[in-house]
Amino acid sequence: MPKTTSGTGRDSQMAQILLPTYLGTPQFDDFLDQFYESVTQHDLVKHFFIVAKKPAVIQDLKRYWPYLLPKSTLEYRKPAVPSSSHEIQLPESQFSEIVIMMSKLFREMKFSSEHSPQLIHEILELIEETRSQTADTASTTLEGKDIDPEILHLFLKRHRIQSEVMPSKALKTVKGLEYESWIRLDHDAKEIRIYGKIFIKDEAFDDQLAEIIEKQADKESIVKLRLVRDSGPQHLYASHTLPFNNGIPMRLFARCLQRFCLDLAAVHGFDKESILKKKA
């Protein structure tokens, strides 16, 4: 049974993603069948699945769950909100009805009451992605030969993230994010890696750096720091890797990239003795 990881307080704990532990189980497959049928027969919200049919929904739950970002227990207690593209986004009252229907079905099918709020967030975020992709007039997922630094650069630009393709074929983000980051494609492993560096002043002591690393670890964010001294100027390094064997859903990837850079920038909040160089 999945457990939440330890943090500074129960409400600030970041939960592990639950969805993959349920995908493919008979109970969850039955839930998806009943949920889809209930929504499509409900006059108020039956249009929710007009552009996203059940096979596509199931496929994308399996393909894209690694792109989900963990939230705190407190965030999962709050109602899920629409995240589809604006053109097909449901009014708040209708989306709330979707959430209520899903919650009720979880109770009726005796799913864990502890897991249900988180599962609602995770499932609906991915269904919203499926709905958005189906309604898009142009592809928003990079696949096959399109998984290329130059094309990724153009797709990031659509999300107002400016980047440069370096001679190494890595992408360096230059504008539109809270912190400078790098993106590298590994076609052998079929992975895309986001990484960043926080450079350190020469006068920094080991205990000061250890304290910053420990405080960041306690936040349980997607940014995990390690000290690097054998590759150029000393720095704190963090990375986040995602698979692209099923393509790169750019809306979800952009959210991961934004979150990574936001969390990396927040590390400076632990630097009470000014041993870190200024943000890039």
Based on the fold, state whether residues 148 and 124 are members of the same structural domain.
Answer: no
Total number of domains constituting the chain:
2
Based on the fold, state whether residues 74 and 168 are members of the same structural domain.
Answer: no
Strands 171-175 vs 182-186: parallel, antiparallel or unpaired:
antiparallel
Complete edge-to-edge strand list for the sheet that includes strand 171-175: 162-165, 171-175, 182-186, 191-199, 235-243, 226-228
Q: Is 236 helix (H, G, I), strand (E, B) or coil?
A: strand
Res 250: pLDDT? 95
Listed residues 82, 108, 135: the one ending a domain = 135
Q: What is the pLDDT tens value at each position of the chain, 280 positions in all?
A: 343 333 344 444 566 899 999 999 999 999 999 999 999 999 999 999 998 999 999 999 999 999 999 988 888 999 999 999 888 999 999 999 999 999 999 999 999 999 999 999 999 999 999 999 988 877 889 998 899 999 999 999 999 999 999 999 999 999 999 999 999 999 999 999 999 999 999 999 999 999 999 999 988 789 999 999 988 899 999 999 999 999 999 999 999 999 999 999 999 999 999 999 986 5
Res 14: pLDDT? 60
Res 13: pLDDT? 54
Is the residue at 254 inside a domain? yes
Based on the fold, state whether residues 130 and 29 are members of the same structural domain.
Answer: yes
Is the residue at 275 inside a domain? no
Res 261: pLDDT? 97
Res 51: pLDDT? 84
- Report the CATH number that the domain containing residue 186 is assigned in CATH: 3.30.1460.10
Based on the fold, state whether residues 32 and 147 are members of the same structural domain.
Answer: no
Based on the fold, state whether residues 146 and 71 are members of the same structural domain.
Answer: no
Is the residue at 4 inside a domain? no
Based on the fold, state whether residues 65 and 166 are members of the same structural domain.
Answer: no
> How far, in whole angstroms, is CA 234 from its chain's centroid?
29
Based on the fold, state whether residues 129 and 146 are members of the same structural domain.
Answer: no
Q: Find all residues with CB under 8 Å of 103, minimum gap 6, and list them.
A: 116, 120
Report the alpha-carbon distance of residue 78 to residue 118 in Å, rounded: 10
Listed residues 120, 135, 150: the one ending a domain = 135
Res 210: pLDDT? 96
Domain housing 84: 10-135
Res 109: pLDDT? 97
Based on the fold, state whether residues 62 and 76 are members of the same structural domain.
Answer: yes
Based on the fold, state whether residues 81 and 153 are members of the same structural domain.
Answer: no
Would the pTM count as exceeding 0.85?
yes
Listed residues 135, 159, 176: the one ending a domain = 135
Res 5: pLDDT? 37
Res 8: pLDDT? 40
Based on the fold, state whether residues 163 and 95 are members of the same structural domain.
Answer: no
Is the residue at 1 inside a domain? no
Strands 226-228 vs 191-199: parallel, antiparallel or unpaired:
unpaired
